[in-house]
Amino acid sequence: MPSLTNLVAPPSLKEMAFQAIKEAILSNKLEPGKIYNEQALAKELGISKTPVREALLDLAARGFVTFLPRRGVQVNVLTEKDIRDLYNFRAALETAIMRCITPRVTDETIRRIEAIYKKEEEAIRNDNRRGYLKIDREFHLSLASLSENQYMISALENVRDLIDWMGWKALLRKERMLEVYEEHGRIIQRLKERDTEGAVKMMEEHIRITKENVLNWLRKL
């Protein structure tokens, strides 16, 4: 059988630009509200303007930036309404995921989820707040992956990018980390019991509390 390694295409310049610019936005190297020049971004990345513009168009479609005619591209500033809308969409999406996966979880999948849950405990014990945020993302995306529905998974990945970007400081308070850990534990327990309605309720409550924490943090800025 011929090797398949040569069939795996390397990332395109557009994909590389997309990831680089998105990471710069998520890390606040490109600041919310500021306007950036496409040519300057291309120069910074060491590539031509065309793949940068294509990447920015994708980022605009995902809610990260807005094109301003004859001025450049602005990193979006998310409002209280944006946060409410995102979390309401997230609640609808993740409760649908729980309805999909709870009746068919296996003992093996429970063990995989519990392994991630154990990493949360370790991150709290070590006060690894950035690490905790990544593990929290892994927990939710692992649940989504059990749906085997790529549309659900992709939608949640995009929502998490926006949520992690706008609200990571609110989610990294030590007391909130402990609360999230307990809320995740209740979700896992309902999964173990194959209690679909209970799992949906626990996920809905978890997202509602998280939304209120982020909104309270935003109001104090």
pLDDT tens-place string over residues 172-215: 788 899 999 999 999 999 999 999 999 999 999 999 999 999 89
Same domain, 130 and 162: yes
Q: What single-letter amino acid sits at 44?
A: E
Same domain, 38 and 55: yes
- Do 48 and 104 share a domain, yes or no? no
Q: Are residues 97 and 203 in the same domain?
A: yes
Range of the domain at 57: 10-75
Name the pTM for this structure. 0.82
Q: Do 104 and 30 share a structural domain?
A: no
pLDDT score at 220? 77
| Domain finish residue from 47, 75, 103 | 75
Query: How many Å is the Cα radius of gyration of the chain?
Result: 19
Helix, strand or coil for residue 72? strand
Q: What is the pLDDT of residues 107-125, one digit of tens each?
A: 999 999 999 999 999 999 9
Residue 129 neighbours by CB under 8 Å, 6+ apart: 123, 172, 174, 177
- Whether residue 215 contacts residue 166, with contact meaning beta carbons closer than 8 Å, is answered with no
Count of domains forming the chain: 2
- Indicate if 61 and 21 belong to the same structural domain: yes
Q: Say what the pLDDT of residue 76 is.
A: 92
Q: In this structure, are 87 and 67 located in the same domain? A: no
Shared domain check, 41 and 95: no
- Res 26: pLDDT: 83
44 burial class (0-12, 13-18, 19+ CB within 10 angstroms)?
Answer: middle
Closest CA to 30 of 64, 58, 60: 64
Q: Which of the listed residues 75, 95, 128 is the one where a domain comes to its end?
A: 75
Residues 122, 141: Cα–Cα separation, whole Å: 19
What pLDDT is recorded for position 112? 97
In angstroms, the Cα distances linking 186 to 38, 182, 190, 192 are 47, 6, 6, 10
Is the CB of residue 117 less than 8 Å from the CB of residue 139?
yes
- pLDDT at residue 6, rounded to an integer: 55
Question: Which CATH number goes with the domain that contains 155?
Answer: 1.20.120.530
Residues 62, 85: one domain?
no
**Strand ranges of the sheet holding 35-36, from the earlier edge strand across to the other edge:** 35-36, 72-75, 65-68
CATH of the domain at 59: 1.10.10.10
pLDDT for the residue 183: 98
> Is 84 found in the same domain as 71?
no
Residues in the chain with pLDDT values less than 70:
1-10, 167-170, 221
